[in-house]
Amino acid sequence: MKLFKLLIAASSLLMLSSLAQAAEVNVAVAANFTAPMKQIAADFEKATGHKVVLSFGASGKFYAQIKNGAPFQLMLSADDEKPIQLEKDGLAVPGSRFTYAIGTLVLWSAKPGLVDPRGDILAKGAFNKIAIANPQLAPYGVAAMEVLAKRGLTAAIKPKIVQGENISQTFQFAGTGNTDLGFVALSQVMKGGKITSGSGWVVPGNLHTPIRQDAVLLMKGKGNPAAEGLANYLKTDKVKAFIRTYGYEI
């Protein structure tokens, strides 16, 4: 009986130890990174036992929420400016910021054959509406407006623009046919190295400022093994290779 009680006690201690080691991390994730991050989080949870709670949206909104005390512990932004500002604000752990992906912009339509390989449809104007993410909130929207400016098309196309709050809503507008075209993230339409539906023009990087996407450990995540572990996991060669399959550079 004494041995049995000892075994029960040892088993309970092991269970308590396992629970003590497991932690939870709340992550603010740029909308363009939704698909890859869901898989990355699932793999991380399986490998570590930690729990990952993901929120997807516009980086500008996340920045405002974090400034107002939102309980995020890690942020994956769609740019590098907001993580830098969070460091300056004293809300991010100094030295924890790193680039997890460099985004690729694509002009895309759900209609096969509508978008030509050089994006000449923009100058021809053979479309009614085009979806672009709000440049006040979304770096992909900033990049889209830069492309139009470099091609001298801002004035001509401005009346046709439908703004999405973030890149997910922008893709929804184009994907459902509410707009003929949309400037979206390549990661939203690519699988296995190919655009899987519709038609698209992958925008050359020299037409806009690089979409450098940085992650940063927030002060609320300092000392949290799940937050720190996930940040390190994103830097592994395995995860970097996976991220590239969605059309990102890294």
- 72 lies in a domain? yes
Calculate mean pLDDT across residues 34-46: 96
Q: Provide the CATH number for the domain around residue 197.
A: 3.40.190.10
Same domain, 42 and 95: yes
Cα–Cα nearest to 208, from 150, 155, 130, 169: 150
Same domain, 97 and 217: yes
Question: Same structural domain for residues 21 and 69?
Answer: yes
pLDDT at 63 over 80: yes
Q: Classify residue 222: in a domain, yes or no.
A: yes
Helix (H, G, I), strand (E, B) or coil at 188: helix
Strands 24-30 and 74-76 turn out to be parallel
Model confidence at 228, in pLDDT bands (50, 70, 90)? very high
pLDDT band at 195 (very low <50, low <70, confident <90, very high): confident
* Assigned domain for 239 exists: yes
CB 103 within 8 A of CB 26: no
Domain that holds residue 151: 105-202
Average pLDDT over residues 30-39: 94
Between CA 230 and CA 100 the distance in angstroms is 12
Stretch 58-73: mean pLDDT = 95
Does residue 35 share a domain with residue 9?
yes
Please indicate, yes or no, whether residues 128 and 81 belong to a single structural domain of this protein.
no
β strands within 77-174, DSSP E: 98-103, 105-109, 130-133, 161-164
Amino acid at 241: A
- CA-based radius of gyration for the chain: 21
- Per-residue model confidence (pLDDT) at position 58: 87
Instruction: Please report whether residue 249 resides in a domain.
Output: no
Residues 119 and 177 in one domain: yes
Residue with tokens 């100094």: 94
17 pLDDT higher than 90: no
Determine contact, residues 188/171, Cβ cutoff 8 Å: yes
> What's this model's pTM, rounded to 2 decimal places?
0.81
Q: Are residues 129 and 187 in the same domain?
A: yes
* Cβ–Cβ under 8 Å, residues 131 and 143: no
Mean pLDDT value across the chain: 91
- 76-104: pLDDT as tens digits: 999 999 999 999 999 999 999 999 999 99
Tell me, yes or no, whether 169 and 225 share the same domain: no
Residues 176 and 240 in one domain: no
Question: How far apart, in whole angstroms, are the C-alpha atoms of residue 115 and residue 111?
Answer: 8
> Is residue 128, in this structure, part of any structural domain at all?
yes
- Please state the domain count of the chain: 2
CA separation for the pair 102, 186 (Å, rounded): 11
User: Is 121 contained in some domain?
Assistant: yes
Whether the predicted pLDDT of 2 surpasses 60: no
Instruction: Tell me: do 65 and 91 sit in the same domain.
Output: yes
Please tell me whether residues 235 and 158 are part of one structural domain. no
Tens digit of pLDDT for each residue in 142-169?
Answer: 999 999 999 999 999 999 999 998 899 9
- The answer, yes or no, to whether residue 13 has pLDDT greater than 50, is no
User: Do 96 and 112 share a domain, yes or no?
Assistant: no
